[in-house]
Copies of this chain bind each other. A is one copy, B any other.
Amino acid sequence: MEPSTTPLAQYIWGEENLQRRIEVLKELEHHPVLSVKVNLAGLSRRDNWAVRVQQAQALVELYFRKGWSQEHFLTSNRILGDMPSAPQFRIFIKNLQAQMSPEQKAYWVPKAERFEILGCYAQTEVGHGSNLGGIETRATFDPETDEFILESPTVTSSKIWIGALGAWATHAIVVARLIVKDKEFGNHLFFVQVRDLKTHDVLPGITIYEQRDKTLGTIRGIDNGVMRFFGHRIPRSHMFAGSSSLSRDGTYSPPRNKSHSYTSMIIIRGLLSSELAFDAMRCLYIAAYYTAFRRQFGANGPGQEESPVIQYASVKNRLFSAIAREVTIILNGRQITAAIESGIGSSLDNLHIMTVGGKVYASEHAARDVEVARLLCGGHGHHESAGFGAPYALLSASRTYEGDSYVISLQLGRAIIKNWARAEEDQLPALAYLRRVKNPSAYQQRVGQGKNTNWYDPAVQEDVLEQRVALLAGGFLADEKEGKDTSFQVLELTMAHTDLHYMRGLYAALESAPPESQVALKALANLYIFDTITRGLSTFAGSSYLSLSDLQGLKASLEKSVADFEPHLYTILEAFSFTPLETKSTLCPVDKTPYEAIVDWSKGSELNDNTFMRPVILDVRSMWKKFEQPKL
């Protein structure tokens, strides 16, 4: 099966990404190791990881043999799923590049790029996740030996959740507090070899334990690790010297600006803003395929065919709106990545808010939308082979990793507080809705409110979404003023903020969409916007901003947009055209029906030969004889 290369496909994936995806799929599809359909779920954790290590080995070989870029490697790793090689480029090398001095880079990056050293990034501690200021690991400079002494003084200071540290990595980037002559200089990065390069034994002065299974039975191929240092020494040259540094005599040069560590976070969150939506789309793609195949109820008599379930409002409304949302997230997420690539440093505050919003929005919706996809497939969605489990587990976790949704939403709150008091021209443009909070009377009534509201008018749509975030921001500021804890409401605020920006971004994206896809994408945009406004209506309770007739118009517009989207569904799906290697789903097979695929899959069960347990079962069935009262 060939991925689609229509103009719409190029537009949605991005030309370069799509090209790379096609190249990579071609290699993976018939690869003797990477295309083998191992039933990973049925394996023990140990065997599962072993298979994944062997696949990582095959992938590294392919990377060398084909002379692939790191993007090719990353794309392959994403398609194949969790393997210990995943952090190498994505986190390890990215941080070497961003935070080492030129000399350090020249030495280490090539070694990492050729997998001579295997890396991981060790930041989180048992007691310190969100609050990096609480990190306890210490790197104390010993001027006598020109070394740092690494120490984990407590259980809480153990590094934890470090991907690929548990068994795979030879080197770790370690976040630790720098201490020189009893003075603390805050968190810095240190390059730490953790395993012997010949034997792969953990080095003395370090303990590493692998963390065992993650929740929901997935990411079994990555060996996350817990690590503790007991006076382990590293040379002074292993402190990352991209911005700050320490001289031989212990003189500390602070970083010129603090934006560096900030930047790597922005890059990762920017990437997640669209990546997570592709994962959700893959699941919705399966659900769309299967709900069009599946028939239930609606037969006009005995022997008549039942109706495809995709024709029911309960399926359509959920499926179509989720697809419209995830495509919108992809298009906006790409704009965020583009802004980061073009504009780092220029308006870091703006990029920061943008990536917080993008990451929170993408992860909250993706986790929900994968659930929607699975529920739409009914009972058969619960087969492991349906392919929803791993994406759900990953996307659900994405609400926590790289920043808990509530915790990072606090940063939008802070930006609002900071910008609120400023003159309009000094405010971040993204927060322009604050003018409504300053001058609410000017915005009580919307143009056309109450009669003949044209919901298809982008100005009306924007007005309603802006009013909503302004109402929430106003409530937030009032609570802040009263000294209340606003950490709960910031998530809704961030979601509403992003609703507004994504509606704008979606219209902007449509301008560069291929002409032949304009009608389809306009239908998608309407559905996304009406659905989004409808989901946010609770903010308007108790307000006269929207009238009953407005609401009726909105309901009718949403219904119409669902119907209008329907003829374009397959145009959109075709642009994604996920291959079996990507969907990994018995509900979406190419050479048979989903029903046949499910039954065939069951034929391979590990328990079909259950003779090994029959003595136990027979014992259970005769046990009553031992306990029954003898009959006289």
Contact = CB atoms under 8 A, between A and B. Distances in A.
Interface of A: 39, 41-47, 49-50, 53-54, 56-57, 60-61, 64-65, 85, 114-118, 124, 126-131, 134, 155-156, 158, 160-161, 166-168, 170, 184, 197, 199-200, 209-218, 223, 225-226, 295-297, 299, 302, 306, 312-314, 316-318, 371, 374-375, 378-379, 381-386, 388-389, 392-393, 396-397, 399-401, 404-407, 484-491, 534-535, 537-544, 546-551, 559, 593, 595-596, 598-599, 601-608, 610-614, 616-624, 626-628
9 contacts: A116-B622, A127-B595, A166-B607, A213-B385, A215-B389, A217-B389, A313-B484, A317-B488, A484-B559
A386 B215 contact: yes
B396 A212 contact: no
Contacts of A384: 212-217
Nearest to A605: B210
Select the residue from A61, A595, A619 with max chain B CB neighbours within 10 A. Answer: A595
B57 A46 contact: no
Contact of A129 (B61, B118, B318, B379): B379
Contacts of A64: 623-624, 626-627
Contacts of A226: 598-599, 602
Nearest to A297: B131
A396 B618 CA distance: 34
B126 A599 contact: yes
A124 B595 CA distance: 13
Contacts of A225: 602
A446 B211 CA distance: 57
Given A134-B299, A170-B621, A313-B487, A379 B400 contact: yes
B213 A216 contact: no
Given A216-B216, A296-B131, A541-B546, A485 B167 contact: no
B314 A167 contact: no
A167 B628 CA distance: 27
A557 to B, nearest CB: 14
Contacts of A559: 484
A216 B392 contact: yes
A620 B115 contact: yes
Given A114-B628, A217-B389, A226-B599, 11 more contacts: A57-B619, A60-B620, A214-B382, A215-B381, A216-B217, A216-B384, A312-B488, A313-B488, A374-B396, A484-B559, A543-B548
B44 A215 contact: no
A405 B371 CA distance: 13
Contact of A44 (B42, B118, B170, B400): B42
Contacts of A134: 296-297, 299, 306
9 closest residue pairs by CB, A with B: A217-B217, A542-B551, A213-B384, A114-B624, A313-B485, A210-B605, A209-B602, A314-B487, A215-B389
A627 to B, nearest CB: 4
Contact of A209 (B216, B485, B546, B608): B608
A618 B167 CA distance: 12
Contact of A617 (B168, B317, B383): B168
Contacts of A54: 616
Nearest to A627: B64
Contacts of A49: 607, 613
A375 B398 CA distance: 10
Given A209-B603, A606-B45, A118 B401 contact: no
A206 B114 CA distance: 56
A562 B208 CA distance: 42
A579 to B, nearest CB: 21
A91 to B, nearest CB: 16
A326 B12 CA distance: 43
A371 B215 CA distance: 12
Contact of A599 (B158, B295, B542, B605): B158
Most buried by B among A42, A225, A491: A42
A43 B607 CA distance: 14
Nearest to A127: B595
Contacts of A392: 215-216
Nearest to A114: B624
Contact of A598 (B160, B400, B541, B620): B160
A617 to B, nearest CB: 6
A160 B605 CA distance: 14
A624 B116 contact: yes
Nearest to A134: B306
Contact of A131 (B65, B306, B485, B618): B306
A212 B297 contact: no
A326 B217 CA distance: 26
Contacts of A622: 116
A115 B628 CA distance: 12
A601 B212 contact: yes
A621 B209 contact: no
Contacts of A490: 314
Nearest to A218: B217
Contacts of A388: 215
Given A44-B47, A50-B613, A383-B211, A620 B313 contact: no
A306 to B, nearest CB: 6
Given A45-B607, A212-B39, A537-B538, A60 B623 contact: yes
Contacts of A213: 39, 41-42, 217, 383-385
Contacts of A197: 621
Given A47-B44, A614-B200, A126 B216 contact: no
A404 B128 CA distance: 41
A457 to B, nearest CB: 18
Nearest to A409: B314
